[in-house]
A = this chain, B = another copy of it.
Amino acid sequence: MSVKDSLETLKKIGSELIRISQISALLGWDQETYMPREGIDDRASQQALLSGWQHERLTDPKIGKALEDLGVDIEVKRLELSQFISIPGLSEEDRAFVREMTRNYRREKKLPKSLVEEFAKETSISQSKWVEARERSDFEIFAPHLERVLKIEMEMAELIGYESEPYDALLDAYEPWMTTKELVNVFDRFETALKNLVDRIVDSSKEINDSFLYKRYNVRKQEAFGRELLEAMGFDFDKGRLDVSAHPFTTTIGFSDVRLTTRYSENNLKDAIFGIIHEGGHGLYELGFSENLRGNILAEGASMGIHESQSRLWENIIGRSYGFWSAFYPKLTEYFEDALRRVTLEDFYRAVNIVRPSLIRVMADEVTYNLHILVRFKIERALLNREISVNELPRVWNNEYEYLLGVRPSNDAEGVLQDIHWSLGYIGYFPTYSLGNLYSAQFYMKMREDIEDLDEEIERGNLRPVLGWLRENIHRYGKIYPAGELCKHVTGEPLNPQYFMDYLEKKYSEIYSLN
* A residues in contact (CB < 8 Å) with B: 16, 19-20, 22-23, 26-27, 30, 34-39, 41-43, 45-46, 49-50, 53, 236-241, 243, 253-257, 259, 295
Contacts and interface: CB of A to CB of B under 8 A. Distances in A.
B42 A253 contact: yes
Given A49-B16, A255-B42, A256-B42, A34 B34 contact: yes
A493 to B, nearest CB: 37
A96 B20 CA distance: 32
A23 B19 contact: no
B241 A34 contact: yes
Contact of A49 (B19, B239, B253, B255): B19
Given A43-B254, A46-B19, A238 B36 contact: yes
A38 B257 contact: yes
Nearest 3 A-B pairs (CB), nearest first? A42-B254, A39-B257, A38-B256
A239 B38 contact: yes
Contact of A46 (B23, B41, B239, B243): B23
Contacts of A256: 36, 38-39, 41-42
A240 B39 CA distance: 8
A45 B295 contact: yes
A46 to B, nearest CB: 5
Contact of A26 (B26, B237, B240): B26
A41 B257 CA distance: 10
Contacts of A36: 237-241, 256-257, 259
Contacts of A243: 34
A92 to B, nearest CB: 25
Contacts of A30: 26, 30
28 contacts: A16-B49, A19-B45, A19-B46, A22-B42, A23-B23, A23-B46, A26-B27, A26-B30, A34-B243, A35-B257, A36-B237, A36-B238, A36-B240, A36-B241, A37-B238, A38-B236, A38-B238, A38-B239, A38-B256, A38-B257, A39-B253, A39-B254, A39-B257, A41-B256, A43-B254, A43-B257, A46-B254, A53-B53
Contacts of A41: 254-256
Contacts of A240: 36
A42 B43 CA distance: 21
